[in-house]
Amino acid sequence: MPLYSYQCNTCRHEFQQLVYPGDVAACPSCAGTDLEQMLSLIARPARGGPAEVAACGNASPACGGCSGAAGAFG
């Protein structure tokens, strides 16, 4: 399921939410549905398994890679 970034036009809260087919996103702060979908960066997955992510020191899949990982991401 896609993860979308939104900004609520009612309370201006920014958040990310998984949106399933047929669902309507709602603001977790005010429950409003007047939302603006924002551009979000696409995370680049590691080429290898968890060992390469551990070598980087950043276990977040949203990291997108780092240059200090001795070629772990490339």
Query: Per-residue pLDDT tens for 6-36?
Result: 999 999 999 998 888 888 899 999 999 999 9
- pTM for the whole thing? 0.51
Q: Is residue 8 part of a domain?
A: yes
Q: Is residue 64 part of a domain?
A: no
CB 48 within 8 A of CB 57: no
Q: Is residue 71 part of a domain?
A: no
Cα–Cα dist 9/18, whole Å: 19
Q: Is residue 20 part of a domain?
A: yes
Task: Count the Cβ atoms, other than its own, within 10 Å of residue 72.
Answer: 20
16: containing domain: 3-56
Q: Is residue 37 part of a domain?
A: yes
- Match 């958040």 to its residue by tokens: 15
